[in-house]
């Protein structure tokens, strides 16, 4: 198995996601979280929810990458996470309202029926549904599409129509969810993707069965609490202006938070 180390840009988006989780856990009084599905998107899966775990939540991972669960163990949080394999995301075994929050990082756009999926997320969520999605309203997106065309790589990044904030907000409303917050995060100042890494990953791991052995720096940073100074400073700006569309033109990701009707 070939090794890949997550680059600093990926580490930064994990860092700002952790800050988002910390704020949400406090403001929304979240205790139980489900991430569905929880595989990776050009990065190691099953670790996107560690921010919720570090904030004290109990986390359920649906269809995780089992080999990456070592990160939870290294952070001493094995008692805060459970996994469920081979789950149909449209018809899960969970009870109505079993979790305070149901969420996903990027991979939900790979599903054939996003509305059906969102309705199931709504069912198992007690109050909130939270989706983080790649942002096509930034200069890295057309460059990404060009790379696929030039090199002949098949498009493996989901349905691009859902990489637009307005479309996702509309999907939430279609599912009967009230949009309570939306915004842009992971705004480091450079476009996404940069190019060479994306080409290498597609060449090495273009087939679904091929996966790298990931080295994930954020685990060490989170374990020691010592994050690089540039990351902390950039994260402060990122979080301070996250709400709304102000940072959308240069953000790699956007999010939509919905609440079930009362």
Contact (Cβ atoms closer than 8 angstroms) between residue 17 and residue 48: yes
Model's pTM, two decimal places? 0.94
Query: For the chain, what is the mean pLDDT?
Result: 93
Q: What is the pLDDT of residues 76-122, one digit of tens each?
A: 999 999 999 999 999 999 999 999 999 999 999 999 999 999 999 99
- Report in angstroms the alpha-carbon separations of 255 from 3, 166, 182: 30, 11, 5
Domain total of the chain: 1
Q: pLDDT: is 86 or 192 the higher one?
A: 86
Quick one: how many helices (H) and strands (E) in the chain? 9, 9
86 torsion bin: left (phi>0), alpha (psi -120 to 50), beta (else) = left
Instruction: Give the pLDDT score at 200.
Output: 76
- Report in angstroms the alpha-carbon separations of 115 from 33, 111, 121, 176, 208: 20, 10, 10, 11, 24
Q: Decide if pLDDT at 205 tops 90.
A: no
Indicate which CATH number applies to the domain containing 187.
Answer: 3.40.50.150
Q: Which domain holds residue 103?
A: 3-260
Q: pLDDT: is 162 or 154 the higher one?
A: 162
């Amino acid at each position: 198995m070939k090794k890949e180390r997550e680059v600093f840009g990926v580490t930064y988006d994990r860092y700002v996601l952790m800050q988002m989780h910390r704020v949400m856990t406090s403001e929304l009084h979240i205790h139980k979280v489900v991430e569905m599905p929880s595989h990776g998107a050009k990065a190691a899966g099953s670790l996107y929810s560690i921010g919720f775990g570090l904030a004290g939540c109990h986390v359920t991972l649906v269809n995780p990458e089992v080999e990456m669960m070592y990160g939870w163990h290294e952070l001493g949080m094995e008692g805060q996470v459970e996994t469920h394999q081979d789950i149909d995301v449209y018809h899960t075994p969970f009870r109505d309202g079993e979790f305070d929050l149901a969420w996903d990082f990027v991979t939900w756009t790979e599903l054939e029926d996003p509305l059906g999926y969102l309705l199931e997320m709504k069912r198992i969520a007690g109050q909130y549904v939270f989706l983080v999605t790649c942002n096509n309203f930034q200069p890295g997106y057309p460059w990404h599409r060009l790379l696929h065309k030039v090199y002949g790589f098949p498009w493996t990044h989901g349905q691009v129509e859902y990489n637009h904030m307005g479309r996702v907000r509309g999907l939430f409303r279609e599912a009967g969810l009230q949009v309570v917050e939306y915004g842009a995060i992971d705004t480091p100042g450079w476009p996404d993707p940069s190019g060479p890494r994306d080409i290498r990953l597609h060449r090495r791991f273009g087939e679904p069965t091929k996966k790298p052995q990931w080295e994930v720096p954020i685990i060490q940073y989170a374990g020691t609490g010592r994050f690089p100074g540039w990351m902390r400073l950039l994260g402060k700006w990122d979080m301070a202006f996250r709400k709304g569309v102000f940072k959308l033109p240069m953000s790699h990701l956007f999010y939509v938070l919905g609440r079930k009707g009362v």
